Amino acid sequence: MPSPSTHPMSSQRAPTIPPLRARPWLRLLLILLGVSASISLLTCLRCLDNPQDMFINFLLTALYTTGLWLANGYSVDWLDKYVGWKQAPAKRLVLTILVSLVGSLGVIVVVRLGYILYRHQDVRQLVSAKYIDGYIFPLVITVICSMFMHSRSFLLGWREALVRNERLQREMAQAETESLRQQLDPHFMFNALNALTSLVEEEPKLAVRFIRQLSQVYRYVLDARQREVVPLADELEFAKSYLFLQNIRYGEALQVELPTAADVPAHFVVPPLSLQLLLENALKHNAASVSQPMHLRIALDCAAKTLTVRNTLRLRRLGPDESMGIGLPNLTARYGHLTAEPIVVARTEAEFVVTLPVLEMER
């Protein structure tokens, strides 16, 4: 018989029982009951000699406190879905006050009506001048609850905005570094200079145009890197210049279709260098030849407000220093800070398709 130290089960730990944790709603209920008990003791010291009155006072206070807390708490969640503090602070403040007062008055009326029916009293007491003072104390609780809940909502929204802004700044800096790294990459410069050398010798006029397009590419990169969004028309003009340089290099191996920048609405905008990243990825990751050319198609759907980039999928093996794998995730993160519309990436046997949402600048 094996000893305990060598028994197969001795190496396994005995199952541990997870510690008990109070559910959030139970913890909140206990807090509200504690607050209600404290308020009851402070507001009805004479009830200490009468347990029945103390219980009724505690029950009413608990109903008021819980009802007002829930009414104001749910109003915060409801308003956050439609009107945020960051987007429209003045409108949010007015709606906060109105919703809080209406919801709180509804809770007060329901609780008072229940108390009147319990006492078999006249329902008209709800609006009688004699008992109008009964609304003052619940409204004081309302003000306290409302100030706490909505102040908390505002502070949380403010903190979230700071975190989002800091994250966006970091990702923008990464995007700028990556874009400059790609554009100033030695391979890019080497290929551009090689193409320029052959053009200077064989086609001087085309060489001049090549130099102009190359300067426009670099000017756009330097001008756009500090901006959050750029006009889509400018981005398409940049893509045209960039693809002109690539056409010189690839020749008939690269077939390009793109919309005319003049037909793009002036208020359409996108993050800068979005197209450059997608075009660079397509050319870097896929093989192209005259017999099997790469087709690059950029299409704008003004009705759906989308920009679609398609390229022939014919993957080639890359070296470890050729691809860092952060371009498309970085672009997705940048879009995530500007719009709720996602970037859609689709891959078939023949094509790789990326659909970008087009943003609109307020006119």
Q: Which stretch of 45-49, 52-56, 66-70, 254-258 has the lowest confidence by average pLDDT?
A: 45-49
Q: Which of 112, 130, 164 is the last residue of a domain?
A: 164
Whether residue 194 sits in one domain with residue 341 = yes
> Cα separation of 232 and 206, whole Å?
27
- Numbers of helices and strands, H then E, in the chain: 9, 8
| Per-residue model confidence (pLDDT) at position 159 | 78
7 in a structural domain: no
In the predicted model, what is the mean pLDDT of residues 165-182?
Answer: 63
Whether residue 315 sits in one domain with residue 343 = yes
Whether residue 218 sits in one domain with residue 150 = no
- Of residues 221 and 179, more confidently modeled: 221
Whether residue 353 sits in one domain with residue 289 = yes
Whether residue 201 sits in one domain with residue 100 = no
> Cα separation of 286 and 147, whole Å?
59
15 in a structural domain: no
Considering Cα of 316, then 319, then 325, then 331, what sign does the dihedral take? Answer: negative
| Model confidence at 58: pLDDT above 60 | yes
| Per-residue model confidence (pLDDT) at position 311 | 94
User: What's the domain range around 320?
Assistant: 184-360
Q: Which of 110, 133, 164 is the last residue of a domain?
A: 164
117 in a structural domain: yes
> Cα separation of 220 and 228, whole Å?
14
> Cα separation of 172 and 225, whole Å?
8
Structural domain count of the chain? 2
Cβ density class 218-255: b for 16+ within 10 Å, e for less: eebbeebbeeebbbbbbbbbbbbbbbbbbbbebeebbe
| Per-residue model confidence (pLDDT) at position 312 | 92
345 in a structural domain: yes
175: nearest Cα among 218, 220, 215, 226: 226
Give the Å distances, CA to CA, from 49 to 45, 55, 222, 307.
Answer: 8, 11, 81, 76
- Evaluate if pTM is beyond 0.85: no
Whether residue 120 sits in one domain with residue 85 = yes
Residues whose CB is less than 8 angstroms from the CB of residue 82 and which lie 6 or more positions away in sequence, other chains included: none
Whether residue 63 sits in one domain with residue 153 = yes
Whether residue 331 sits in one domain with residue 278 = yes
DSSP string computed for 66-135: HHHHHHHHHHHHHHHHH--TTT-HHHHHHHHHHHHHHHHHHHHHHHHHHHHHHTT--GGGGG-GGGGGGG
In the predicted model, what is the mean pLDDT of residues 197-209?
Answer: 84
Q: Which residue has the tokens 């670099």?
A: 218
How many CA atoms are closer than 13 Å to the CA of 94, on its beta-carbon side?
Answer: 3
Whether residue 354 sits in one domain with residue 233 = yes
Give the Å distances, CA to CA, from 130 to 111, 134, 140, 259.
Answer: 17, 9, 19, 75
> Residues 99-154: pLDDT tens digits?
777 777 787 788 778 877 877 777 777 776 666 666 676 667 666 666 676 676 67
Whether residue 287 sits in one domain with residue 227 = yes
Token representation of residue 250: 């690839």
| Model confidence at 67: pLDDT above 70 | yes
> Cα separation of 24 and 289, whole Å?
63
> Cα separation of 272 and 231, whole Å?
9
| Per-residue model confidence (pLDDT) at position 21 | 46
2 in a structural domain: no
| Per-residue model confidence (pLDDT) at position 316 | 83
171 in a structural domain: no
Q: Let me know: does 235 contact 275? Beta carbons within 8 Å.
A: yes
Whether residue 73 sits in one domain with residue 207 = no
CATH of the domain at 285: 3.30.565
Q: Which of 132, 164, 196 is the last residue of a domain?
A: 164
50 in a structural domain: yes
Whether residue 133 sits in one domain with residue 211 = no
> Cα separation of 208 and 199, whole Å?
9
55 in a structural domain: yes
> Residues 295-339: pLDDT tens digits?
999 999 999 999 999 999 998 876 655 555 567 887 887 888 788
